[in-house]
Amino acid sequence: MNCTDLVIAGASGRMGRMLLETCAADAQTRLVAALDAPASPALGVSARAFGGNLDVLISADAAGIPAGSVLIDFTRPEATLGYLDACVKNKAAMVIGTTGFDDAGKARITEAAKHIPIVFSPNYSVGVNTVFKLLELAAKSLNEGYDIEILEMHHRMKVDAPSGTALKLGEVIAAAQGTKLADRAIYERVGHTGERESGKIGFATLRGGDVVGDHTVVFAGIGERIEISHKSASRATYAVGAIRAAKFLNGKSSGLFDMFDVLGLR
């Protein structure tokens, strides 16, 4: 297999460091650039200081993204969309793990995928994506008589809620049952809410400490309750999945993909 040239965005952050370490340990990838925010104190510092194995200096210059490389980005929507424009201009692929996009941001990613190959997923864990697949089956067989609730907890620094993964769990369930999440989601309950409306998908969001990411889907019926859970103890699983996604894009000229495509779960 050809070596995949990687560009890591947010290189000095928690996820960026994990990506640098994972890239360094993978003989089929090579770090060619590392990016960070314009105000980052890491600018001009070697990526080795953050887990990389090459003396690539961290830069804020997205215009220098090499053609044919793959940018892996787990930053914030506004930064991602800036990198997106640079990748289209430079003919570089993207693996996008950023969450919290509005509809306009998602539309820009879809449009960009007509020109470059992009893997766009709310979660790059192989385990979580396996849960997505399991939920398709569960949602079909538990289509009647079960109330569905999605609980998620993340660290105190996470800025969007519910998490992108929680929303994807809801989307998978709704689609498997022939509906749309937008027509069924309940994101908050307060005060006198009345009885639970049948067919709705409820979300509960918890934030605190250094929790990497916990997700549980509850199918609550009469006399029984089915729970499908995934708990992350390390960001390493996301980094491994993102590197796998980057290698998947080798040889592709355009297209919008997700982890089901990468893992052959489609």
Q: Which residues are 117's β-sheet partners? A: 255
Own/partner pairs for 224-233, CB < 8 Å, 24+ apart?
Answer: 226/138, 226/142, 226/146, 228/131, 228/134, 228/135, 228/138, 230/125, 230/127, 230/128, 230/131, 232/125, 232/128
Rg (the chain; Cα; Å): 19
Instruction: Name the strand (E) or helix (H) holding 126.
Output: helix 126-141
Task: Work out the end-to-end distance of the chain between its first and last CA atoms, rounded to an integer number of angstroms.
Answer: 23
- Which one is catalytic: 114, 158, 200, 231? 158
Establish whether 215 is a catalytic residue: no
Q: Which residues contact 199 (CB under 8 A, 6 or more apart)?
A: 179, 184
- Which one is catalytic: 154, 215, 230, 247? 154
C-beta separation of 57 from 46 below 8 A? yes
Establish whether 154 is a catalytic residue: yes
Which residues are known to be catalytic? 154, 158
